[in-house]
Structure 1
Amino acid sequence: MKINFKKILTLGFVIFLLIQFYQPARNLDYGQVLPTHFTKIYAVPSDVKNILRTSCYDCHSNNTEYPWYSYIQPARMFLDSHIKEGKENLNFSTFGDYSQRKQGNKLERIVKQIKSDEMPLSSYTLIHKNAILTQENKKVLINWIESTKDSISRRF
């Protein structure tokens, strides 16, 4: 049986064009900050807010800043799966809906992942160089989270 590469390439190109029409809803609150947002529950200093916004919120909040390539499938599907998984694990927009115990556990987990360089994901920082956490950023985040986590644990 002879393989016709021209037909395979044409079919692949047609499928690529057709999937471009699939553009699911975006993860956007249009700047809206819910009463359950992390920054509404805690007095977050501006330097910590900026670090979180730059390095965390795209995958861990209801307000993603989409890059130009998010309009091209299958890149969009890849992004959406990361955002969905990120929000399932931690969503800063709905942080206030977590119990105090869960909030404390989430903060503890954030510190562990920052210390072990698990977050932000290397696949994210490969393209978003500004999201890479410097040693100073890590120190600022960890110190603030540790003090906040301690205040939560005293409430029990």
Structure 2
Amino acid sequence: MKIFKNILYWFLIVIALIQFIPVNRVNKPVDEKVNFVNVFATPGNVQQILKKGCYDCHSNETVYPDYAYLAPISWSIKNHINEGRKHLNFSEWGTFNKDLKKNMLENSAKSVKDYSMPMTAYIAKHPKANLTKAERVLLSGYLEEILKSGKF
């Protein structure tokens, strides 16, 4: 029993200390001229779908939940956001080259259709982000329409 208490004591000390390791949760400013929804004059209903299902990880408009301020959970969340932004950042859309934009549109449409995005783990904590079938059809159709137009 003494060993267990000792382990618990040191575990709590470590958990308390790691809270002081900072995580940068400051979003970069959004330049409206290069923001995806402005570049394409995206309809309001599609904008709502993007904001509820995509923007927390794929834009500079992340809204961090309360639990994102507790280490080591905060580290994992920030890592997921960084990875998401690396693969697609709607806030910086206009800065990408045409080949990259085409690839991002194709991957996004596919990911929405095959239910791999939004991620299941994200939906578990954010049930409102779970897109309905109709929303998935609308969003993937919108992305495919942009692809077909070639104006990306």
Aligned to 2:69: 71
Aligned to 1:22: 21
Number of positions where the alignment pairs a residue of Structure 1 with one of Structure 2: 152
* In structure 2, C-alpha distance between the alignment counterparts of 1:107 and 1:86, rounded to whole Å: 14
Aligned to 1:149: 147
* In structure 2, C-alpha distance between the alignment counterparts of 1:51 and 1:4, rounded to whole Å: 52
SS in 2 for 1:44: coil
SS in 2 for 1:52: helix
Does the alignment pair 1:59 with 2:54?
A: no
Aligned to 1:118: 116
* In structure 2, C-alpha distance between the alignment counterparts of 1:64 and 1:33, rounded to whole Å: 15
Amino acid in structure 2 at the alignment position of 1:25: N
* In structure 2, C-alpha distance between the alignment counterparts of 1:110 and 1:27, rounded to whole Å: 25
If the length of structure 1 is used for normalisation, what is the TM-score?
0.90
Cα deviation, residue 74, structure 1 = 1.1
* In structure 1, C-alpha distance between the alignment counterparts of 2:122 and 2:22, rounded to whole Å: 21
Say whether the 8 Å CA contact 2:35–2:93 is kept in structure 1: yes
Amino acid in structure 1 at the alignment position of 2:16: L
* In structure 1, C-alpha distance between the alignment counterparts of 2:57 and 2:75, rounded to whole Å: 14
If the length of structure 2 is used for normalisation, what is the TM-score?
0.92
Say whether the 8 Å CA contact 2:27–2:61 is kept in structure 1: yes
Q: CA-atom RMSD, angstroms?
A: 1.8
* In structure 2, C-alpha distance between the alignment counterparts of 1:127 and 1:24, rounded to whole Å: 20
Pairing 1:133-148 to 2, within 5 Å after superposition = 133-148=131-146
* In structure 2, C-alpha distance between the alignment counterparts of 1:47 and 1:98, rounded to whole Å: 25
Name structure 2 gaps, 5 residues minimum. Answer: none
Amino acid in structure 2 at the alignment position of 1:24: V
Say whether the 8 Å CA contact 2:109–2:141 is kept in structure 1: no
Q: Deviations over 1:76-120 (max 9, x none)?
A: 011011001111111111111111222122111111111111100
Pairing 1:37-52 to 2, within 5 Å after superposition = 37-52=35-50
Aligned to 1:8: 7
* In structure 1, C-alpha distance between the alignment counterparts of 2:123 and 2:141, rounded to whole Å: 23
